[in-house]
Amino acid sequence: MTVIALPDIAADLNFSAEAILWVNIIYLMSFVAFSLPFSKIISQYGVKKSTKISLLLLFFSILISVFSINDIMFLLSRLMQGFSAAILAISLYVIVVEEFEDSEIGSALGVVSSSGYIGLLIAPVVMGLAIVALDWKWAFLMVLPILVILLILLNGIDYEWATEKKHVDNKGSLIYVVMMCLFTYGMTLLDEFGIVFVVVSVILLIILFKVEKNVPEPIFNFQLLNDVKYVIGNYAAMITYFTITITITVLSLHLQYILDVEEIVVSFILLIAPIIMIGTSGFSGRLSNRIDSRIISGVAMIFICASSTIFFFVDFIPFSIILVGCALQGIGNGLFSAPNNKYVLTLVDEEDLPDASSVLSTSKELGKILSAGIFTVILSIFIGGQQLGLDHIGHLFIQSANLMMFICLLLNLSAAILLFYSKFRYDHVPNESAVRFFKRIAPEWAKKRAYEK
């Protein structure tokens, strides 16, 4: 929703081209930094109670956004919104997986994905209409009644989702929060300080790993990373959200600044992908009960690759092809979400479910952070601190967008290849006739190596 309002927010609060991207970056940084520590707290102290607190926090943070008098105050409100969204995201996955049988999880996650896409569908329209008719602040205010309704419905639930209370690793949590904040901030800086922050965050990751090995109740079970299939699933989720975030940002800014399209028209163009997502996500969830989730997710990544290719040539193609690109992205994202969520979350034991859900959410938000951070660096190189919208920097923005979409294309290809590799490598049933043929013609050293494996 905020993407549509970025030009108006920037004009109202005097954001530069670099600072405007911090509207999303600081939200994502807060989300990623606190999601993993919250995974332990939420499951132990109650999902219902934690969700209620997050909704109240989101309510007050929106009020701060609306009444912000400068960019610092607005960014502070975005920090609080990321904090509350981290709790909501983890709670959602825990509730779904705990409440449904294994045979129903795919369909349930498909419904959840459809609901999320409905939010993506409604938000741009509401924001565009609010900006044209009233002001960008009214789009934020419209969310408040929805939060009140959610709080009332939550109070109507007479039971709680909770696990046995255990010790929370405060030291590990602190290291993780500092590490993610430094990494996120370092990714947005072009100078030597940015490199220092990233290096320090890597050092903190090593320290965290060593600390967690000696803690009875670690903040994260690093043993999960020994499962290559689990890692590939999270990587694919990260790359998908990397592409979604930057595509929406680039397309929105290109249409408004380069093609001079009004906000309301941009909002309807951005509706194409969410509309298709709604239709395909529920279908893909049901399909994942019959077909391996990695196959569905890999095919979805191919559709996303096609859309990234179209947006790479966005300055040379007719407007109708841009709409085709939006449709292809909608198909890809809709096919990907539910099967991949089911695949990742069902790889772990029940006691590791909070960790798995937080890592999955973190992977998605980390993809958003990386895309926003890399695009910030690219804009810094091509444009610097100049404001977007000036005629003499239009071609520089186009070059920045082209480079970013090329990066997306390469990453999507890598994710698709890894998903298919995971299916073939770990679930492949060898052809017995081919094995016998190999044994006849293979040299002795190869036979010995195969036997040892």
Pair 349, 228 in one domain: yes
Structure confidence at residue 302 (pLDDT): 92
The answer as to whether 443 is a domain residue is: no
For 101-133, write each residue's pLDDT tens digit.
666 665 666 666 667 666 765 676 677 777 777
Q: Contact at 8 Å (CB) between 108 and 283? A: no
**pLDDT-based confidence at residue 411 (cuts at 50, 70, 90):** very high
Answer whether residue 202 shows pLDDT above 80.
Answer: yes
Pair 124, 180 in one domain: no
Average of pLDDT values for 415-437?
68
Into how many domains does the chain fold?
Answer: 2
The answer as to whether 93 is a domain residue is: yes
Pair 210, 241 in one domain: no
Average of pLDDT values for 303-318?
86
Domain with residue 72: its CATH number is: 1.20.1250.20
For 421-431, write each residue's pLDDT tens digit.
888 777 644 44
Contacts of 82 (CB under 8 A, 6+ apart): 26, 27, 28, 29, 30, 31, 34
Pair 210, 228 in one domain: no
Pair 181, 158 in one domain: no
Pair 230, 204 in one domain: no
- 3-state SS class at 59: helix
Place of tokens 């400068």: 70
Answer whether residue 350 shows pLDDT above 70.
Answer: no
Supply the range of the domain harboring residue 174: 169-218
Q: What whole-number distance in Å separates Cα of residue 59 and Cα of residue 147?
A: 7
Answer whether residue 391 shows pLDDT above 60.
Answer: no
The answer as to whether 198 is a domain residue is: yes
Q: Contact at 8 Å (CB) between 419 and 61? A: no
**214 or 331: whose pLDDT is higher?**
331
Residue type, 256: Q
User: Which percentage of the chain shows pLDDT scores above 90?
Assistant: 2
Q: Is the dihedral of CA 268, 270, 273, 279 positive or negative?
A: negative
Pair 110, 33 in one domain: yes
Pair 26, 160 in one domain: yes
Average pLDDT value over all residues in the chain: 76
Q: Is the dihedral of CA 21, 24, 27, 33 positive or negative?
A: negative
The answer as to whether 350 is a domain residue is: yes
The answer as to whether 453 is a domain residue is: no
The two three-digit tokens of residue 96, written as one number: 């779904």
The answer as to whether 235 is a domain residue is: yes
The answer as to whether 291 is a domain residue is: yes
Q: What is the pTM of this model?
A: 0.72
> 71-80, 144-153, 292-301, 368-377: which has the minimum mean pLDDT?
368-377
Q: What whole-number distance in Å separates Cα of residue 103 and Cα of residue 105?
A: 6
Q: What whole-number distance in Å separates Cα of residue 231 and Cα of residue 283?
A: 25
The answer as to whether 445 is a domain residue is: no
Q: Which of 152, 183, 218 is the last residue of a domain?
A: 218
Pair 147, 174 in one domain: no
Structure confidence at residue 413 (pLDDT): 92
Structure confidence at residue 285 (pLDDT): 72
For 207-242, write each residue's pLDDT tens digit.
888 887 777 777 777 777 778 888 888 899 889 888
Q: Contact at 8 Å (CB) between 162 and 43? A: yes
Q: What whole-number distance in Å separates Cα of residue 144 and Cα of residue 139?
A: 10
Pair 83, 194 in one domain: no
Q: What whole-number distance in Å separates Cα of residue 61 and Cα of residue 27?
A: 12
Pair 53, 187 in one domain: no
Name the strand (E) or helix (H) holding 283.
helix 272-287
Average of pLDDT values for 276-287?
78
Altogether, the residues listed in the chain come to a count of 453
For 3-50, write each residue's pLDDT tens digit.
667 777 777 777 766 667 677 778 877 887 887 777 777 767 777 788
Pair 183, 127 in one domain: no
